[in-house]
Structures are given as C-alpha cells and as structure tokens.
Structure 1
Amino acid sequence: MATAKTKQKILKTFLKLLETHPYDEVSLPLLAEEAKVKLSDMRSAYASKLKLVAAFYEQIDTSVLEERDEDMGDQPARDRLFDVLMTRIDTLAEYKETVRALRAAAQKDPALALDFNAIEVRSQKWMLIAAGIDVAGVKATVVSQGLSIAFGRVLDVWLDEADEGMPRTMAKLDKELDKGTSFMKRLKGVESAAKRMRSFLKKAAQGRNHRRRRGDETEDDSADFADEAPAGA
C-alpha cells in the first residue's frame, strides 16, 4: 500500500513531467521511473493517469477552499464567484505549463476531453460552494457544466497572457460571468414556468379524479335505487 508521502511524490513528478512532455507521452512506467517508485506502488497509489489528473484537481480545489475570503460573504453572488475563480487561477499559476498540456491533450482526444470534463464539473461544484452559491440536484449539474465550459474559455486566454496583472484574463472572466448571469435568469424563468405547469397538471389530475369519484358514487346510487324499486316499476 502506497503511503501518503509516496502518492504526493508521484503526483508531483507527474505534474513536473507534463511541463515538458505531452500528456500521451507520460506513461505510468516512465512516471514510476522518474518518481523512483516500484510499479506495484504506482498501481496502489494511482491506477491510471486519469486518477492523477483527478488528484491534481482535488489539490487545487483544496487550496482554493483554504484561501477563500470569508469577508466576501456580504457581496453579490457574482462577485463572490469572480473572487473564487480568480483565486483558482492564482493557484494554478505555478502549474501553467501542466494546464497547457492537459488542455492540449483534451483538444486532441474527444474521449479524454469527456473524462476531463467530468473532473472539471466536480471541481466547479466546489467552486460554487466556495462562493456560497446554493444549487442542488439537476440544476447543480447544469450550472456546474456551464461554469466548466466558461472557465475553460478563461483558461485559454490566461494561457496566452504574459502580463502578470492578467487584465485580459479578468476581462474574459467578467464577460463569461455576465453571460452566466443571463443564463441563470433564463433558467430561473424556465424553472418557474415548469413549476406552474406542474401545478396546473396536478390540479387537473385532481379534478379528473374528483369527477371520476363522483361518477362512481352516482352509479352506485343508481344501482341502489334500481335494487330498491318495486317489481314492474
């Protein structure tokens, strides 16, 4: 069983290799060799490269959650989310070439892109939680998926920006959040319409059931009357 120290060593080596190697060239045997661990320890620690990517995202998530500015609690939800996502970008700064390699790999391989997307959506759910934005159920998945796509567009700008002040990155994030706010308003409208429709259908069903019961009672009364009527009537 690989220790926590061994797992961290493997992950650190993996991220370092991605700075100079394409994702598809970083094999598990190469990683074991570079990390100076046995393949059995590699298997115990991470069964696949996808597990390593998930561990990387989890590491970033944890750092962002630890850095969360609790003084932002009284700010609008959009501003809180902007702050959280900029904190995420700041946290990713030392892994910029690693992020570049992962995005390049996803662009080349649609199946891999879907795998990465599932990991990203899970991370963005935590970013929403960090921003104090309460969404649940299907809505949480829809919002997290939209945020994942938007953040990916922001990352593309960030990867090409040399200015440490990141004016283009912040402007892009601003724009994407504006579009997201508009989408959320439309989603809320759709939810309200769906709620009204469900209420209407429920009342209609209750009305049909009520009429059906009254019809059954009328038939029973008629049958009783027929049974009680004198012969030949």
Structure 2
Amino acid sequence: MANDFDVAERLTQAALDLACERGWRNVSLAETASRAGVPLLDTYRTFPDKTALLCGLIVATDRAMLEEGAADPNEPARDRLFDILMRRFDALQSRRDGMIAIIRDIPLDPLCACCLLPRLSRSLAWTLEAAGISSAGGLGFLRIKALGVLYLSVLRIWLADDTPDMARTMAMLDKALQRIDSIARILPGSGKASREGQTPDETPPLANDEPPGAPA
C-alpha cells in the first residue's frame, strides 16, 4: 500500500501533467485521481479540494528547497538568501511546464489565490529560516512581507525565462536583493542596530544575522 507521501506525489504529478494538456482551470480532482491511479477516497483524504492540491505543490517545492539543509552560515545574509531562493526556482524549473500552466491560471480564481496566501507565507518563512534569517516576531513578519514582494517579482521573470541556466532569473534575483538591501538601509528603525542607538543602516531587515527563530 502506498504511503501518504507517495500518494501526494502521484497526485501532484498527475495534476501538473493535466494542467499542461488543458489548463489548470479545466482540471478536476476526479480525473487527477484517475490519471494518478489513486482511489477517490485516498485522493479526498490527501487533497480534499483543488486548493489543497496547490498547497501540496507548494509543500513539494518547500521540501526540495530544504533538502540540502541550511545555507552556509559563513556567507553574507544576502548570498545565503540568494542560494536558498535559487533552490526554490530550481525546484520549479524541474516541473516548469506544469507549474507555468498552473501559475498563469491562478489569478483567474481570486478566491483560490487568497486561500493560498497563508501557505505561501509559511513557505517564505522557511525560506528565511533556511537562509539563517529569523522569521519570528514583528520584524520577521515584515521580512516575510518584503520577501513575498521580491519573490513574486522574480517569479514573473522566471515565467518568461527561456535560458537553459535561468540566467535572467538569477540576474533579476540578484538585482532585487541588492535593491531591497539598499532600501532597507535608509529606513529608520530597520533592525536591532537602530534600537540600540546605532546607525539604522547597519542591520537591514533581510540581512539581519540574529539567530533564527521558529517559522511564522
């Protein structure tokens, strides 16, 4: 008997294949189950609706991102974040056609998009944690929001990036990380340095090297 992880993997792969063929909007759970060879009851237990199936795809991307462990703590925070985010894009790239078909259809279902936001926020929190940047507390909340804006801006480039090594995606990610780092350095109260009476440009929100806390 297949375990839960195997069932989820088969269903998500079937959903990706079907999305490539006919678009995510036209994919049903019943035909996903049929394509995957998974009984309807097991499909219901694993993914009771299409939003849950999309969350399963996000979780699969998280697993791939975290599989190699945390980033090198000896690297600067921005470099660590770059490495972790590129792991995420590598995971998307391995399922590129299906992921593009799904991502392009999600805006056509605003309710589904809203339901995915909490799951995406958890993924971004784990992205920060893997980079050795805390996602805890009020500052962590702001970091998650800032990272979300950055990630979605780079995702738009990835959707159109036809280079074999994702050169355009990497260039945009590097530029976006530099920009958010520069902006953060001129904001008052951006990190522990300013709270201790030091200059606020010493500790930008996405490059704070304080010990990581639990994901939000």
Normalising TM by the smaller chain, what interval? 0.7 to 0.9
In structure 1, what residue type is equivalent to 2:55? A
* Aligned-partner residue type, residue 110 of structure 1: P
Aligned residues of 1:64 and 1:87 also touching (Cα < 8 A): yes
Given that 2:18 and 2:27 are in contact with CA atoms closer than 8 Å, whether structure 1 keeps it comes out as: yes
Distance 1:60 1:22, change over 3 A: same
Q: Which whole-Å deviations, capped at 9, do the CAs of 1:184-209 have from their partners, x for residues lacking one?
A: 435562677x969xxxxxxxxxxxxx
In the aligned structure 2, how far is the partner of 1:145 from the partner of 1:2?
38
Change (3 A) 1:157 1:19: same
Aligned twin of 1:142: 142
- Inter-CA distance 103–9: structure 2 relative to 1 (3 Å threshold): closer
Where in structure 2 are there 5+ consecutive unaligned residues?
197-216
Q: For residue 210 of structure 2, what is the aligned residue in structure 1?
A: none
CA gap 1:187/1:51 in 2 versus in 1, 3 angstroms: farther
Give, in whole Å, the separation in 1 of the partners of 2:85 and 2:191. 26
Aligned amino acid, residue 126 of structure 1: W
Unpaired runs of 5+ residues, structure 1, are 197-233
Q: Shift of the alpha carbon at 1:183?
A: 4.4
CA distance, structure 2, for counterparts of residue 95 and residue 178 of structure 1 = 28
Asked which structure has the greater CA Rg, the reply is 1
The C-alpha deviation readout for 1:11-60, integer Å capped at 9, x for no partner, is: 22122222223222111111122222322221112111111111211111
Aligned residue-pair number:
195
CA distance in 1 between counterparts of 2:80 and 2:12 reads 30
Tell me the equivalent position of 1:53.
Answer: 54
Amino acid of the structure 1 residue aligned with 2:36: A
Instruction: Describe how 1:28-67 pairs up with structure 2 within 5 A.
Output: 28-67=29-68
Change in CA separation of 1:167 and 1:10 when aligned onto 2, cut-off 3 Å: closer
Query: What is the TM-score with the length of structure 2 in the denominator?
Result: 0.79
* Larger relative contact order, structure 1 or 2 (CA cutoff 8 Å, min sep 6): 2
Distance 1:28 1:176 in 2: 37
Q: Which residue of 1 aligns with 2:112?
A: 112
Match of 2:201 in 1: none
Q: Percent of counterpart pairs with the same letter?
A: 32
Aligned to 2:8: 7
Which letter maps to 1:97? Answer: D
Checking the alignment, whether the CA contact within 8 Å between 2:70 and 2:132 is kept in structure 1 is no
Shift in CA distance, 171/8, structure 1 to aligned 2, threshold 3 Å: closer
Question: Structure 2: how far apart are the matches of 1:181 and 1:141?
Answer: 17
- The CA RMSD over aligned residues, in Å, is 2.6
Task: Tell me which residue corresponds to 1:175.
Answer: 175
